Structure formats: C-alpha cells, structure tokens
Chains A and B, each alone.
Chain A
C-alpha cells in the first residue's frame, strides 16, 4: 500500500510540474496585465514603472526561472490584485470551497445512495418513477437559475432564509441546496442503474430464496457490489466542486476558490492562478487516492 501511495504521489508530482509549466507560459500568452491594473489615463512612465515593479519587462524564460527559484523556497509569489502572498489568498478561498464540497457531497452521497437503492428495488414502481423524474430534472437544471429562483422564493417572498452571505448555518442552506441538486440527480441515476444490475444477479436471487429480508438484500448484498461505478461518479462530481462552484460562489457571495480563479484569470493575476491550480491539483490528487483506497475496501479482488 505504501509503495502504491508513493508511486501515485510521484506520478502526481510529475503531472503537477507539467501543469505548472504549461499554465505559467499559457497564462502569460494572454498578454500584459498592466492595462488592467492602471487607470486608463495612466502615463507611459507609470506603465513602465508597473512592469518593472512586477518583473514583467524580463524575458519570459527569466520570469520562469525566478518563479521556479522562489517556488523552491516555498515562495508562491504575490498577488498583484491584493498585494498579499498568493498562497494566502488561495488557501483562504479554498477553506470555503472545501467546506462547501465536503458538506454537499456528504449529503448528496447519502441521499442518492439511499433513494437510488430503494428505487432500484422495485423497478417501474411509483417510487422509482417519481425519483427518476425529479432526478432527471435535477441533473439538467441550470445552477444560476435555481440559485436566483431560490433567493426569490425563500429569501424575498417567504423570508425563511437569508439571500446570501456566510454568517450563520442558515446562510449555507440555499448554496448547498443549489449545489446539491445536479450531482444528486446524476449520482442517483448511476446508483439506480448499478443497483438494478446488482439486484438481478444470482447471489441476490439466492439470498432472496433463502428468505433474507429486503433491507439487508439492498444495503448489504446489492449495494456493496454496486458501489464501484458510483464512487467513480462521486469523485468526478466532488472534483467539480473542489475546482470551484463559480455560479454559487458568485451569486451567494461565498469567497471560494472558483470565483477567485476566474477573477485571477480575467485580471491576469498570474501568481494566484498558479497557486490556485497547485492547490486544486493537490486536493484532487488526495481525493483520487481516497477513491482508489475505497475501491480496495469494497472489492477484495483489488489489491495495490
């Protein structure tokens, strides 16, 4: 196991280095950030000063060499926009995104597995049809529309919840609900499909013939074997949220990493773009590792 984790870490580190090189040069190809930071009436002298101050006058390869040298000293550069260390800026945002991702994906996973499994037990039944109908709507509804409609109904009309912000537990309900809907619809469909296959297999029929009650059949015999494809989809959806729930962050005023990254790209805040990509990449590496470990736990045939 240790050997496996070590190999995966080395492979991920190599990918990360490649990603950093690629993003460093590609982001700089988008142009000079000077015009974006200075007032439109700034003199040429001011523009020259700005470029010099931020090392933008140097050849690209010199800028890259300086970046790598700083990186080796755990200096991730400074945000031009915020005049603070880029990694501080990113980690502050990531804290919010991680909380949002963990809470949302926990709720999604539990709800989708329970409801999807029950729906699969009686294929074509009323419960199955209702859940399929709503999960398909959920999987296809646009986030921004749900968010705005949610605010209008629950905050403005009913006044049950705050419109936005992060102050209390109530502030989290609308953003999490909006983030919940799409992955819930998608994962529920995968659970249902996977469970239908599992429940029609010979060992389940044998269990039924032996008189095992429905609950153990679904959640012990069927679910464990149906979980492998479900875990893959859960990982994929969680990675999406870890990379930033831009719409939710923007509308609800959540200071997460997604909006930070978009703003950094638009403003050519290069140090923040690179720091954000590194943090996201490490988070996704850890998540993929956990998924691999989950595979091994669920399927004894998989050994690392």
Chain B
C-alpha cells in the first residue's frame, strides 16, 4: 500500500514537472480570457487577434504602426487602376495549412464571407461597413477590388481582411485555416490552444516553434505565472501588478479616452462652456496616479502615430480661474450654466474609470459646473453612446475610449465627429465637408487635411473634453527577446519573438 502511494506521488511529481518543462523555443502566452470564437473574420477582437493575426491568418497587406508604413504580405504589389478600383498582385507559391494553394478565388471568398449577412464577422462590421465592395478575379494571381464610394485607403483596409481558403463555410469555424507560419494543432476548450510551426510556410522561419495559449481572468495570476516561469508573456496585466521593472513593460495601446460632449443641448452648445470644461480638468494630477505614468495628454481622439496627427496642437492647461471666468461670461449672456450635466461612464471600460470620472466630476464642479456621475453596464451605456440619442435628454458628457491602431483617422473621424456619425455629439456641416474631403484624399494632401480636421475639433469647435492616450502593461519572461509595442493591443506575432 505504502509503495503504491509513494509511486503515485512520484508519478504525479514527474507529471507536474512536465507541465512546466518545455523546449527552449516553445512559448506559453497567458491571455485575459478564453477565446469564445476562433474564426479569422473575428480577429479584430484583441485576444482572437493575438492568437490568429500573423500567426495562423495573414492579410494582403500589413500595417506597421512603429514606422507608419504599409507593407506587402500576401499581395506583392497593388495599384489603383481607376478611381475606386485597386488591382492586387498576389504572392505565388503560398499554401494554406490544409495544403491547398493560395489563389485569387480565396481572396474573393474571404471578402464575401467577411461581409456576408449569413454570419456576423467583426472585421466586416468594423472595417467594411458603410460602402459597397466587391472583388473580381483577373487571373489566379491577380484580383481587382472595387469600392463605391472610392476608398483611397483600400490597401490599408486589406491589412484587416484575413484570408481563408475558398472552401471555408459561411459559418463560424472551429478550426481556423490560414497561410501563416503556424497551424492550430490543439484546442482544449477552456484550457488551452496550441499553435505549431508549419514546415511548408512560404516566408522566413520564426524562432518560436510552438506556442501554447492559456487563459486566466485575474491579472495578479497572469503576472504570477510569468514570474514563476509557467508563462512567458502576459500581454495585458494591470498597472498594480506591473511591479517588476526587469520584466514589465508599458506601451502605448492605441486607446484614447475622452468625454464626448453633446453639442446639441444647452449649456454644452456654447463654445465658452466647452473651453471652460477643458480648462477645469487638471490632467497632470491623473498621470502616474489613476492612469499610467507613461500616458500622454491627448489633443485628438487618435494616437500620435496616426497619419496627419497634428503635433502643433497643445493640450488644454489646468486654469481654474480662466474656466470660472468663461463660465461667468456665458452665464451673463443667458447660458444656463447651472443646469445639471450628466456624466455617463461604462463600468470596466478602462482601469480606474470610476475614480477618474469621480475626480473629473469634482473638478468640473469646482469650476462652477453642476455635474452628476452615473456608471452604467455596457448595454445601458450604449443607449447614451450611440445614436439615435433620446429625445428631450438633458446635457450629457459620455466617457469613452477609442482604439485606432490602423494608422488612419478615417476609422475615427466620421463616427466620432460627423453629423450623422454613430457616436458623434457634433452637428457642424463645415466639419462634415472637411472630413469628407480628407476621406477622399490621398498622399500628403490626406495628411494635411486630417491635420486640419484635428485642429478644427481641438481649437475651433472644442469637440470633446480630451483626456489621455492610454498605455497598457505587459509582463515578459526575461528569457525572451521581445518588447511589447502599440500592436500588442491587438496582435502578438510570434515571428517577432526571439530568445536571449
């Protein structure tokens, strides 16, 4: 009996050891949540993107935020053959992980599938809504993609379209197939996902041979797993757990926070009131306390790496006296500045949101405003955030966080500031015209026009109460040669990981 017991204990000890042991070129990545879906057309969701993008699934083009350049991937080149039509020359000799060849028909099917009304693909909803798009085959290695109205940034949009084989059904798949350097070799729902390097990958061989993804909700547990060597990368941990300067990184995560102002209601329809709000917020007081010390004060809703980001704009200073004076001036002109203003926040939208909004509400009240904060669950919050807004509503400030990692303001400006924009609180036909003009422009003109739009919103109209370009925190095992970047917010390419 005793021998059996000792044997069992030994066996389980060896098993426990095996759980930690892995080849030098294997990595374990701990994500913050289980992947509910693993379809390539959902890869714009952060954790799905971290597993799929650049690992299993590839796109025609790839955007590099660090250099703000668009590079070829499955497309070797592209050109605009006529207004609204782009011709993509496809890379030859590429195979999917199921052994089939990559060809033009796969691109056409991937696009049709992504925008199909038979399924709800997030990539389709996020990047391919609001215009008509269709793809036609020129030959096996060439495809024409046409949009109406014309999309000058179509090659950039193609960096979001994950390519799947022509045979992929019009329903969410459980076994993603792609042209990337890895294939999914194991999926134990609730436990882990394993990617193994493909021998027949068309490109350079990455250093990581196998990646195991595990899922833990709790940030402290994710951080502990990297600390004890159970995991190599925790892409997202809370600032409170980022305590070890040797392993923890902060990185701009392409998210920008702001209070969306409802310009249609008094007193928020008065420019002086909006300026007073911006002057009443002591943004420096938040940095290093309630938001990460590497966060930056925002002057636009897009991160500084975005095309046309206006570097000449300066954040509003904290000037309580000027804010009070502006408010008094507006009051003297009959603006109802005493009216209660509702600040609406969404629970869990970003770290410390409740505390940040409570402090902002108090700062505004110190300047003479009468604000009240209400924190909402997602669905309730969306009724304030998205159009159509309630009739007869009072003045509202809606706390929001916006992610634009794609490098072009077009993914933000219309939605946030166009008169018909889904989340816009602004109604300015002149600004609409400027957004349209910038959307249709290309090259240097495009950058200059977006720059002008940002100046208009920040200085002339005073569109929002701008807050911060946020940062995220990661923990990385010292054995890896890997530094998180702005991309880590939405993808984690194993090919970028090396070993020391």
Q: Which residues of A contact B (CB under 8 A)?
A: 30-33, 35-43, 45-46, 49-50, 53, 79, 81-84, 92-93, 96, 148, 151-152, 155-156, 159, 162-171, 250-253, 255, 259, 268
Contacts and interface: CB of A to CB of B under 8 A. Distances in A.
Interface centre among A35, A93, A159, A268 (most CB of B within 10 A): A35
B15 A164 contact: no
Contacts of A162: 16, 19-20, 230
Contacts of A32: 379
A53 B120 contact: yes
A39 B228 CA distance: 36
Nearest to A247: B218
B66 to A, nearest CB: 24
Interface stretch (B53-61, B124-132, B308-316, B366-374): B124-132
Given A165-B230, A170-B16, A83 B44 contact: no
B228 A35 contact: no
Interface string B114-150: 0001111010111001100000000000000000000
B191 A166 contact: yes
Q: Which 8 A-B pairs have the closest CB atoms?
A: A255-B190, A83-B172, A42-B125, A43-B129, A170-B16, A167-B19, A169-B12, A35-B382
A209 B176 CA distance: 76
A270 to B, nearest CB: 14
Contacts of B124: 46
Size bracket, chain B contacts? 35 or more
Interface stretch (B75-83, B209-217, B436-444): B209-217
B126 A255 contact: no
B36 A163 contact: no
B189 interface: yes
Given A96-B190, A156-B228, A163-B228, A41 B16 contact: no
Contacts of A49: 117, 120
28 contacts: A31-B380, A32-B379, A35-B378, A38-B120, A40-B382, A40-B385, A41-B422, A41-B423, A43-B130, A49-B117, A81-B36, A82-B37, A83-B37, A83-B174, A92-B190, A151-B221, A155-B224, A162-B16, A162-B19, A163-B225, A163-B230, A166-B191, A170-B13, A170-B19, A171-B16, A251-B217, A253-B216, A253-B221
Interface in B1-25: 12-13, 15-16, 18-20
B366 to A, nearest CB: 32
Interface of B: 12-13, 15-16, 18-20, 34, 36-37, 39, 44, 117-120, 122, 124-126, 129-130, 171-172, 174, 189-191, 214-218, 220-221, 224-225, 227-228, 230, 378-380, 382, 385-386, 411, 415, 422-423
Contacts of A171: 16, 19
A96 B190 CA distance: 10
B129 A45 contact: yes
Contacts of B230: 162-163, 165
Contacts of B20: 162
A41 B125 contact: yes
Nearest to A30: B379
B129 A163 contact: no
Given A46-B125, A255-B34, 12 more contacts: A40-B382, A42-B129, A43-B422, A53-B120, A81-B36, A82-B37, A152-B224, A162-B16, A166-B191, A168-B18, A252-B221, A255-B190
Nearest to A81: B36
A29 B415 CA distance: 29
Nearest to A251: B218
Contact of A81 (B37, B129, B382, B386): B37
A155 B228 contact: yes
Nearest to B115: A46
Given A46-B125, A83-B171, A167-B19, A156 B37 contact: no
Contact of B12 (A79, A92, A168): A168
Interface centre among B44, B122, B379, B380 (most CB of A within 10 A): B379
Given A35-B379, A38-B125, A39-B122, A163 B422 contact: no
A39 B406 CA distance: 15
A32 B172 CA distance: 21
Given A35-B379, A148-B220, A168 B19 contact: yes
A253 B215 contact: yes
Nearest to A52: B117
A45 to B, nearest CB: 7
Contact of A164 (B13, B126, B216, B411): B216
A163 B224 contact: yes
Contacts of B378: 35-36
B229 to A, nearest CB: 9
A41 B129 contact: yes
Contacts of A31: 379-380
Nearest to B13: A170
Interface centre among B12, B16, B227 (most CB of A within 10 A): B16
Contacts of B218: 148, 250-251
A171 B230 CA distance: 12
Contact of B386 (A35, A36, A79): A35
Nearest to B16: A170
Contacts of A170: 12-13, 15-16, 19
